[in-house]
Amino acid sequence: MQRGTSNERVSASKEAPIPLRLDVLNLLGPSADAVLTGEDQEGPVPVVGVLSTWADLVAEQTRQKPVSHTVSALTQFLLDHIEWACRQEWVSDFAQELEGLTKILRRVSGIEPVRILLPVTCPTCDLRTMIREEGSGWAAECRYCPAVRLSAREYGQLVTAQAQAVSTPGED
């Protein structure tokens, strides 16, 4: 039997693999110009890329000079203008993109938010799946019904209604 005469392709490398996670490195790195022009990028957009795009839009629309493109400066700038941003027509896109970035960062860091199971049932699915998730901004959310997100006032009303239903069974 002769070696090397078949048409099979063998792919191997004598180099050691890269000793770091490329997904994490990608998030930490600078944002490529391609991201800002809408061209494809492999993997998630770096944190600076996401934040700088929104901060630049806010600066442009509020007629302020752009802020330094560091994570801390961009984050502070966006926090300083959050009330204004919440009144803009693009706020849902802003919220979705930042929520997506948060999920990616949690996944790569292995840090999960603290979730507290609440003693009420979901008003939509009627299951005991209501939680309070640290940092979500909601007093209560259903783990299975994405539309069920309650403010503190709404959660208080739900607790009151369910407590009354338990204390006076059979009355409707």
Q: Of 70, 90, 109, which closes a domain?
A: 109
Residues 96 and 163 in one domain: no
**pLDDT of res. 34:** 43
Average pLDDT (150-161) is: 94
Rg (CA), the chain: 24
Residues 142 and 66 in one domain: no
Q: Measuring CA to CA, which residue among 54, 28, 63, 59 is closest to residue 43? A: 28
Answer whether residue 31 is part of any domain.
Answer: yes
Residues 83 and 146 in one domain: no
Residues 139 and 90 in one domain: no
Residues 28 and 65 in one domain: yes
Average pLDDT (10-29) is: 61
Query: Measured between alpha carbons, how far is 54 from 67 in angstroms, rounded to an integer?
Result: 11
Reported as a single tens digit per residue, the pLDDT across 34-66 is: 444 444 445 566 778 888 889 999 999 999 988
The total number of structural domains that make up the chain: 2
Query: Measured between alpha carbons, how far is 13 from 29 in angstroms, rounded to an integer?
Result: 26
**pLDDT of res. 35:** 45
Answer whether residue 102 is part of any domain.
Answer: yes
Where does the pLDDT of residue 98 fall: very low under 50, low under 70, confident under 90, or very high at 90 and above? Answer: confident
Q: How far is residue 47 from each of residues 3, 26, 54, 139, 163, measured CA to CA in Å?
A: 49, 9, 11, 27, 44
**Full domain range(s) for residue 129:** 115-167
Q: How far apart are the two ends of the chain, measured CA to CA in Å?
A: 86
Query: Measured between alpha carbons, how far is 138 from 151 in angstroms, rounded to an integer?
Result: 5
Average pLDDT (5-25) is: 62
Answer whether residue 100 is part of any domain.
Answer: yes
Query: Measured between alpha carbons, how far is 84 from 91 in angstroms, rounded to an integer?
Result: 10
With contact defined as beta carbons under 8 Å apart, do 78 and 61 qualify? no
With contact defined as beta carbons under 8 Å apart, do 127 and 143 qualify? no
Q: Of 69, 89, 109, which closes a domain?
A: 109
Residues 101 and 45 in one domain: yes
Answer whether residue 126 is part of any domain.
Answer: yes
Q: Angle at Cα 44 formed by Cα 73 and Cα 140, nearest 5°?
A: 75
